[in-house]
Structure 1
């Protein structure tokens, strides 16, 4: 299956620091699709990742999914049913917990300009995020792997950094 098989509204999901934002930006650039970073809708700009009011996030999310074309990255599974109802395809990324943790620390310490960064904010290593990556993400990974079985849209699973890199090469995407 190729990226073209996924249609004009692509959902990109996976654990924190799997590369969702970077891949979404590459797909958006290559396919001339608007990129929606759910973290940016969920959090207030100019803050240290302070969430918006839940109803404000829902309004922004639901307005974004009504567009004709998009690549949307992020999980926020509470809103996943309406997102998948509008989606024409799904990409599932996975990387190990070790890779997620090392990428998280790296981006906080060394990346000042990254895809999906909060405008006016700065990433910093937080205990809550380390815990989320190391503990909570395990159950999410299992749910994400089972997700395609119940869907009527095409899905591409990229279960490792090597598979993700191969997808970039095969699709002619540039990071």
Structure 2
């Protein structure tokens, strides 16, 4: 699957801390797409990940998908059907849980300017997020895989860090 086959509106799905935002920014730079990080739309800026009211998030989401050229990272399954109606391609990331946990801790402790971060926010280690990554992610992975199989758009699944690295190389993407 080539980037051209994925088209000008790409959804990136996958577990927390799997590299969705980094890939979205790389695709944005390489393809001239607007990078839309759903976490930034879902949470209030200048907070410690406080969600917006659901209807406000839906309005922001629906406005973002109206664009003609975008790459959007995040899951938010409640709005996925709307997103897929406008999307031209889908990428599923599925890195191991240990990698996701490592990336979460690294971003909290060392990354001052990470991709997809909240404006004015700072990531801090939270036990609820560690628990989410180590326990809830297993069920989420199975759900994402089922959803991915049902999607009829052009799609690519990257099921390891090696596959993700190869995708970056084969498409001349920069992190």
Settle same-fold status: TM greater than 0.5.
yes
| Matched position secondary structure for 1:95 | coil
SS at match of 2:21: helix
Supply the distance in 2 between the matched residues of 1:136 and 1:78 (Cα, whole angstroms).
17
Distance of 1:149 and 1:14 partners within structure 2: 13
The range that moved more, 4-13 or 139-148, is 139-148
Aligned Cα RMSD in Å?
0.7
Task: Determine the structure 1 residue equivalent to 2:166.
Answer: 166
Structure 1, unaligned runs of 5 or more: none
- Using the size of structure 2 for normalisation, the TM-score is 0.98
Matched, 1:124 2:124: yes
Measure how far apart 1:152 and its partner are.
1.9
Query: Number of paired residues?
Result: 175
**Gaps spanning 5+ residues in structure 2: where?**
none
2:111 corresponds to 1:134: no
Shift of 1:148: 3.0
Tell me if the contact between 2:41 and 2:57 (Cα under 8 Å) persists in the aligned partners.
yes
- 1:52 corresponding residue in structure 2: 52
Matched, 1:106 2:106: yes
Runs of 4+ in structure 1 over 3 Å off = none
